[in-house]
Structure 1
Amino acid sequence: MAYIRPLANGNFRADVRLKGITKNKTFSTEKLAQTWADSIERNIKAIPLMSSAQLLEITEADIESMGGEELFKQLGIDLFAIRHCAKLEAINALSKKELLQLTPQEIERMGGADLFIKAGKRIRYKTFREVCDEYLSRWGKKDYKGQMQRVDYWCQFFGDRIMTDIDIFDLREHVDDMIDAGDRATTINRKKAVLSSVYKFALSRGYVDENLVRSVVVDDDTKRRDRVLSDQERQRLIKACQVSHWDKLYLLVLMAMTTGARKGELMSLRWNDINFKDGTAFLGDTKNGTSRELYLALVVIAELKCHQEIGTGLIFPSLELPEQPMDFRAAWRNALKAANISDKDVLNTDGSVKLERFTFHCLRHGFCSALSDAGKEINQIAKLAGHKSIQTTMRYIHQGRDQKRQIVNELAQAFNL
């Protein structure tokens, strides 16, 4: 039954109630309202009488003109199921395990991810970027912004790929490209660790069957590097830093040499972190997620006082952007050059390494080695360096031949040999 009634604003409302279905719509004229109501009444009577062949032939425009897909559903007709009957039968015949093992190509051949979703079936259709977004949304550790940037590096290459469509050959090829571009093993492994973390998350959520990243091995040369400055080299470097065009390079290198702090830890220090009375610096955000104190030598305190400021500003700020740390790479390279210390491996004629390159991080290595050579206990070194495990400290400890020879001689004497 159709009802047409005028509204206060001059329009007309059409109400259709038939076979338990209620439809209504507002029109500008009574004639338009009546025409629509009559059409809806006819369609409510006609749609249930349509054959499957007729339902398959009608277009989206036909469906809309007949009252929309909702009207068909109200009349008990599932157009979606009718149109995809054969494909839905094939999908419904799959077990849960088979559904999760489908490749992106097989999903597409069977009707696409949307068909599986509408059928209420769980498949692995997420793109790498979608998995990364979910991974980051659950990131509960420090440095969210930094991790987001590191994850985005991989999204540039795999972002739009279906997660399960990425294979070990894709990962190996990209790693090979990084090696060919001259990236160091440590740099590659650092980036690879982020990718592995994403895959570990994806594995825990059932999006992949294995962490492929673990199978892509890159030889890491960090454990073989134990470059420590000689006394002469150390003095040359200190003098070069004292005359650097950046007036705080000497202070930075002095702190690195005597505290063993990481570059990032030192560059994040602020003036209110320094306790001049106690001779300490507070590190509230370290690499391993714990806070610790740095104990400052008198020479460091004296140099800090030469630059001392009041407030919460960075001790080593950028000259252009004071809230960002200074980019001191050019000053560091110039100081190494002036001190005749190579920042590249010095090779023998056969290509083997004669003298390893010296990096800023080697100052931390020298700190640990010097403490070891001075006879300090390994647990003391680990505490001062901020290492969580003794195994990490062992990587940094370097003893020269003289120290090793002395230890052996002392042992022989203890045995009365």
Structure 2
Amino acid sequence: MAYIRPLSNGNFRADVRLKGIVKNKTFPSEKLAQAWADNIECGIKAILNLDQAQLMALSDDEIYALGGEELFKQLGIDLFAIRHAAKLEAINALSKKKLLQLSVQEIERMGGAELFVKAGKRIRYKTFREVCNEYLARWNKKDYQGQMQRVDYWCNAFGDRIMTDIDIFDLREHVDDMIDAGERTTTINRKKAVLSSVYKFALSRGYVDENLVRSVVVDDDTKRRDRVLSDQERQRLIKACKESHWNKLYLLVIMAMTTGARKGELMNLRWSDVSFKDNTGFLGDTKNGTSRELYLAPVVMTELKRHQEVGAGLIFPSAELPEQPMDFRKAWRNTLKAANISDRDILNPDGSVKLEKFTFHCLRHGFCSALSDSGKEINQIAKLAGHKSIQTTMRYIHQGRDQKRQIVNELALAFNL
């Protein structure tokens, strides 16, 4: 129903209320106000009388004449979905595995990225490197060469991974690695700003749902994680790994515990990198740009032989995409929970950290710390851990009060005191 009422300034206001729709507009004359109200009412009634076939056949001009697409939406009619019903049905029928395998051409042929988003389907074909290349192609500011080099740093870290598969834990772990390597906070924040810029671009293009980088905070109070498992915690973790639904988690964890290798290094290890004759593993491309050899303990070799495969495939492959590493985050979280080891910081009543959370990277800290506690030389630990600098190794070594007291007592004895 339409209402026309005069205003104190001489104009006329038209109010239309029909089928839950409320619209109003001001005109200089009552005649114009009435004509507009009649047109809106006729449009609403006409839209509600259209059947599915007629809605599909509407041209853009006809939609505009009836009140515009917004009016259709207010009446609960999704023209986009109606026009693309057949394509949406085909998209909804796709399995998750097939969605992962779609090429750009196939997506365009099925209606384009917008249609997949409308269907609530995530298109995950964009790798981090592809997004970075697209980002740089649209870079219109100064210092293109400098920005390209800064972006290339992150491409070396995440290059061929599907961008939506990179999560907050991956970013946090990489930042922790930079901290452990002794990089200054200002340097880390500059690198993080470049990554945030890439994510902001990806967000604007619909490749990701949020800018994860904003959640990774680095400031002057950032400290390395000193969390090392106690003997009891270690035994509980090993037991829980053996009982995990992922049958290779135990192998992965004992390899990390006994080699000190980084998660990324282990996840990219292939069967062709393992020498069953020499009980070694070869890392051809490590974080610091050098290759190194892993010396594999008997317990690791036994477990490797149990899973041994012929060929050069990944030792820890994804079940759906064999050329990509396994995403074991859920298995890891469940295992920590089963072992009663917190993956979150445990706080004191005043908000300070009582016990730091345990991450997969902490296994590397435990490796270096255990070697130090057993009396190994710092240069030996550095070589086994793959550190270029002794200063980096020092960050991983945690001496307890008893060990420090013993050192002081031995010094006193040496001085015959």
TM-score using structure 2 length? 0.53
Kindly provide the amino acid, as one letter, of the partner of residue 145 in structure 2.
E
Secondary structure of the 2:354 match is strand
In 2, the alpha carbon distance for the partners of 1:388 and 1:260 equals: 14
Partner residue of 1:279? Answer: 279
Aligned partner of residue 288 in structure 1, secondary structure: coil
Separation of aligned partners in 2, 1:221 and 1:394: 17
Displacement, 1:147?
6.4
Match of 1:193 among 191, 194, 210: 191
Q: Which residue of 1 aligns with 2:60?
A: none
Alignment of 1:9-408 (within 5 A): 130=141, 134-135=145-146, 144=155, 146=157, 186=175, 190=188, 192-195=190-193, 218-223=219-224, 225-408=225-408
Cα deviation for residue 355 of structure 1 reads 0.8
Partners of 2:158 and 2:174 in 1: CA distance: 20
C-alpha contact (below 8 Å) 2:255/2:300 kept by paired residues: yes
Residue identity opposite 1:355 in structure 2:
L
- Supply the distance in 1 between the matched residues of 2:392 and 2:301 (Cα, whole angstroms): 29
Unmatched 5+ stretches in structure 2:
1-136, 179-184, 198-216
8 Å CA contact 2:154, 2:195 repeated in 1: no
Counterpart of 2:303, as a letter, is E
Query: Contact 1:186–1:221 at 8 Å: present in 2 too?
Result: no
CA shift digits 1:15-72 (9 cap, x unpaired): xxxxxxxxxxxxxxxxxxxxxxxxxxxxxxxxxxxxxxxxxxxxxxxxxxxxxxxxxx
Distance change (3 Å), C-alpha of 1:220 and 1:284: farther
Q: CA deviation at 1:130?
A: 5.0
User: In terms of Rg, which structure is larger?
Assistant: 1
For 1:328, the aligned partner's letter is F
Matched, 1:409 2:372: no
Deviation at 1:350, TM superposition (A): 1.3
Q: Secondary structure at the match of 2:311?
A: coil
Change in Cα spacing, 1:229 to 1:132, as seen in structure 2 (3 Å) is: farther
Give the drift of 1:144: 4.0
- Rounded to whole Å, the distance in 1 between the matches of 2:416 and 2:372 is 26
User: In 1, Cα distance between the equivalents of 2:153 and 2:175?
Assistant: 22
CA, structure 1 residues 129+395, in 2 after alignment: closer, same or farther (shift >3 Å)? farther
Residue identity (%): 70
Deviation, structure 1 residue 275: 0.5
Displacement of 1:413 = 1.8
Q: Which deviations, in whole Å up to 9, do the C-alpha atoms of 1:60-104 show, x marking residues without a partner?
A: xxxxxxxxxxxxxxxxxxxxxxxxxxxxxxxxxxxxxxxxxxxxx
Judge conservation of contact 1:185–1:221 (CA < 8 Å) in 2: no
RMSD: 3.5
SS in 2 for 1:281: strand
Corresponding residue SS for 1:293: strand
For residues 130 and 401 of structure 1, do their structure 2 counterparts lie closer, same or farther at Cα, with a shift above 3 Å needed? same
1:196: Cα distance to partner?
6.7
Contact 1:318–1:327 (8 Å) recurs in 2: yes
Q: Quick one: which amino acid aligns to residue 314 of structure 2?
A: L
Q: For residues 409 and 257 of structure 1, what CA distance do their matches in structure 2 show? A: 31
Q: Deviation at 1:361?
A: 0.3
Helix, strand or coil: the match of 1:238? helix
> What letter corresponds to residue 222 of structure 2 in structure 1?
D
SS at match of 1:301: helix
Quote the Cα distance in structure 2 between the aligned partners of 1:398 and 1:146: 28
Measured against aligned partners, the alpha-carbon deviations of 1:329-378 in whole angstroms (never above 9, x if no partner) come to 11111111111110111111111111111000000000000010111111
> Could you say if the C-alpha distance between residues 221 and 321 of structure 1 is closer, same or farther in structure 2, counting changes exceeding 3 Å?
same
TM-score by length of 1: 0.53
